[in-house]
Structure 1
Amino acid sequence: MAETPSIKCLEAFHAILITGSATAAGKRLGTTQPAVSRLLSTFEEYVGFQLFYREHGRLIPTDEALALQKEVELTLSSVERLGALATNIHHSNVGSLKIVAPVSFLSGPLADVVADFMRTHPNVRISMDSRSPESARELVARRTVDCGFIQLPEHHPGLRAESLLAGRMVCVMAPDHPLAQRKILKPKDLRDSPLILLGKGRYSRGQIENAFRTEGIPMRVKIETHTVATACAFAKRGLGVAIVNGLLAEQFAHGAHITNFSPKISVEYGFITSAHTPMSRLTEAFFEHCQRCLS
């Protein structure tokens, strides 16, 4: 059997089936009659038998040609679907995106961002997971997930980090707390207040401890938790003053009072991807969308 025919050969065969002539097929395909005839000859050489005979100036398909028609149409349809899929992939309109982020970030700043992205990319499937910062780093570095959001600075050698969002640490407390009327709270103001903090090992926790240490104020840590939501819930109930990320606290502090903490402790979140491979088109499109929404 001759060399496998090209898609153009199949298109020429199908066009002649529909139009009944090489000239009309050429017009349909945007080419010339001789070019169509050559493509048909190549296809006939491949299959090993005649596909058309001439009758009253028209090309009439043989029984063998009609037997091939359905399979050729299926092949051309598959090629068309492949082209459409490639176009959608190129424009980031299809595919799946796996994201990892702190639970407070997922339900807070990221919720509207993802909702907007889904409206403009309805055929994209998104999977979101909440993990500890340590687990999130490894999942992204190993490319188990496509991207993540993490508090900066980030120094993991397997990660690429881009700054997205910045804020500051705040104090959250019950509205009737004695310190609720202060415009700003310093470590000395919190000397006698039970504190609610996120667990040790976080960059911001170290900065808070350093602020108290610098002023020589002992910390009265009453509750340690792992989410801003939980810290705010306890603070609203009068169990102490929570020192937490202001970017995330707003969504959980309804019914509570928020005051800025001083010295100012900046909080910055970044978009992380694996440093071992370039971002996919879809991940890059999502990153650019995040930049527009969160800038």
Structure 2
Amino acid sequence: MRNRRPTLVELEALRATITNGTTASAARRLGCSQSSISRALALLEARLGVPLFERSGRLIRPTAEALAINEELDDIFLALDRVASGMAAIPTAGRLTVAAPPAFALSLVSRLAARFRARYPEVLIQLEVVASDIVVGLVAEGRADLGITDSAPMHSGVRLEPFHSSFLACVMPADHALARHEVLCPADLAAMPCIALTRRHSMRSRIDQLFADAGVTRRVVMETSTAVSALELVRAGLGIAVMNPYPLADRRDATLVWRRFEPALEYRSCCVLPSAVPVTPHARRFQRLLSGQARAECWSPD
């Protein structure tokens, strides 16, 4: 092509597709047609001479080159945000407050904080480790710049931007009798002692309904308020748990195994952002690192 310089439309299409996971979602985000997104991505690939997505049927996954380009775009889009909002300048120093439940705070967020600090050493990061419902309140009240959750809270003061999808899985000790199965269903767990999250978790009722629909009464022997503690109870041999594998399963603990559970139940891990005020520049930077890291750590049960 004559002009190898990408257009803003092409770069927006790339960024939106990486952030939202599909060209259809990117089109909805940008308020255009899916065909225009696909066309912009094709033009961008032709200009740059590198593949930006691996395609398998209707699924696409960004290549390493695409993720690297997306990171380089951070400052460009921050500058555009500054112009749009009329800000005179975006400070590089300051504070970033992130709120997350323990499952995310002790794994994914910790790794991201190290990467963020390496790039922005002048920024003080404050990590608030709280329950998911508290995460939403902190962001809505302006006491956190960004939150992370895998629940589906309804609150007018926040909006949710998904960055990862995962599906219900069963975790158990590696030597458990059910570990030999590749896929488990409610009937397999009928007589087994189970660890469950407390009923204040939004997904608890949906998991209970899966068992009820199958005509199975789950034998819950312990309830706990966090996924991290559920995992420790499983490790202690007190029972097995049906829960979201992300991001805890990436620890690859040899003492535990994860197995797919059917019927499938999807979890959507989301960034919680304020709806009434602009998202801070540092929060946007952290969110972009988060999206890239989540795609690089794509995981599914064995």
If the length of structure 2 is used for normalisation, what is the TM-score? 0.65
Counterpart mapping for 1:1-295 below 5 A: 90=89, 93-250=92-249, 251=251, 253-295=253-295
Structure 2: give runs of 5+ residues left out of the alignment: 1-87, 296-302
CA contact (8 A) 1:92 1:282 kept: no
Q: Distance in 2 between matches of 1:90 and 1:179?
A: 58
Deviations for 1:149-198, whole angstroms, at most 9, x for unmatched residues?
01243321110110012212211111221111011110001000011011
Tell me by how many angstroms 1:129 deviates. 0.9
**Which of the two has higher C-alpha Rg?**
1
For 2:147, what is the secondary structure of its paired residue? strand
Tell me, in whole angstroms, the C-alpha distance in 2 between the residues paired with 1:293 and 1:174: 28
Q: How far 1:238 sits from its partner (Å)? A: 2.1
Q: How far did 1:267 drift?
A: 1.3
Structure 2 counterpart of 1:255, one-letter code: T
TM-score, normalisation: structure 1? 0.66
Offset at residue 92 of structure 1 (A):
5.3
Which secondary structure state, in structure 1, belongs to the residue aligned with residue 204 of structure 2?
helix
Is 1:90–1:281's contact at 8 Å kept on the other side of the alignment?
no
Stretches (4+) displaced over 4 A = 89-92
Q: Which deviates more from structure 2 when the two are superposed, residues 237-246 or residues 141-150?
A: 237-246
1:184 and 1:257, CA in 2 relative to 1: closer, same or farther beyond 3 A? same
Matches of 1:128 and 1:262 in 2, distance apart? 35
Offset, 1:231: 1.4
CA-based RMSD of the aligned residues comes to 1.8
Distance 2:173 2:280 in 1: 46
Tell me by how many angstroms 1:90 deviates. Answer: 4.4
Q: Is the 8 A contact 1:175 1:236 kept in 2?
A: no
Q: Secondary structure at the match of 2:246?
A: helix
State the distance in 2 between where 1:249 and 1:191 align.
Answer: 25
Aligned residues: 207
Q: Residues 92, 270 of structure 1: CA spacing in aligned structure 2 closer, same or farther, 3 A cutoff?
A: farther
Distance 1:231 1:253, change over 3 A: farther
Distance in 2 (alpha carbons) for counterparts of 1:90 and 1:175: 54
2 CA distance for matches of 1:248 and 1:288?
17
**Aligned amino acid, residue 258 of structure 2:** I
Sequence identity percentage = 25
Alignment check: 8 A CA contact 1:164 1:294 kept: yes
Cα distance in 1, alignment partners of residues 168 and 90 from structure 2: 39
